[in-house]
Amino acid sequence: MMTSGTVLAQQPLEISIQTDKPGAEIQPTMWGVFFEDINFAADGGIYAELVKNRSFEFELPLSGWSQTAKQNGTGRIVPGFYSPSNSGNPHLVSVYIDPAAGSFGLTNEYFLLAGDMGAEPLPILNCGMSCQFNAAEVVPLEELDTYIQDALDLIEFANGDPSTRWGGLRSEMGHPAKFNMKYLGIGNEQWDEQYIERYWVFKKVLKEKHPEIKIVSGSGPSSAGRMFEYGWSELRKLSPDLIDEHYYMPPEWFLENAARYDNYDRNGIKVFAGEYAAPGKEGTAAESRNTWWSALCEAAFMTGQNGIYASSSVDRKNGKLYIKPVNSSEKQVPVRLALGKLPYTKSA
């Protein structure tokens, strides 16, 4: 953090020692690096109500320090108090750093990661809908312009010439060369009429302005059932380039569905297997949900995916491997890379 463009220089400090007023004896075995952030003293007894930070959360961070900016770099460190991952330490810090020639390690990181791995970037954008499992809020159709403009701006950022507004920002952030993004996802695990009608608005504009971009739609959060079938039936009419399928199922499901894609129409809409995992049922801890048995069942499922590549009916030019990082901490499953292989297509 100290090399991220903003460093803090300590202010001058005066120490006055009163040898005629000794305090409590400090044991030689007691030592630490942040007593001042925890209490007002160490040995000698503490009045509990004077303890400012019983949980190591200092309420006035950076007090006693002045800010020094390197090469006119600026940024913000903002404490957060929402969605704690651990109730014992409910605060978090968000770091916002303004562009400075891409030297912070926080700029372009998604596109750079994809490039380093030889993968195609596939950003998934908000389609004007919140999580339907939670708030289920939607933006009115007549107010989608801001969200659509975000998609257009992202395309310009990734693929635009440095002379453009967003292509220029990419260049300023240290990457004048284009990222040549080819895919863009609209919505994540959305379903039913609200998603379909918003997806259609996005697709109409994006295909008109950027026909070179392949659009990925979603089939909802389930691997089967009413929402899944409805999504496929409606999206088939809209002809997306790919449909994103997700399945978080018990390990046994993966064994039973190793041949899931055998009957998908090779001439239909292609499938992006964007997220899947086989969490066990032994408990909520990650150690009990991500087991050898889960891995074995996922591997069995992948044999069905690999088998498709031996079929003479497959266009091998589309046989690529796509990845996207999946943060599944809310599901208490370790973060992993979700692997999806093309070209799987669903039968009519």
pLDDT value, residue 201: 95
Instruction: For CA atoms 296, 301, 303, 305, give the dihedral sign.
Output: negative
- End-to-end alpha carbon distance in the chain: 53
Residues in the chain with pLDDT values less than 70: 1-11, 29-75, 84-86, 97-107, 282-289, 306-348
User: What pLDDT score was predicted for residue 94?
Assistant: 74
213 and 183 Cβ atoms separated by less than 8 Å = yes
pLDDT score at 81: 73
Catalytic residues: 189
Stated pTM of the model: 0.60
Task: Return the residue matching tokens 């993004």.
Answer: 181
Question: Looking at residue 302, what is its pLDDT?
Answer: 85
pLDDT (0 to 100) of residue 18: 86
> Which pLDDT value is given to residue 345?
38
pLDDT of residue 229: 93
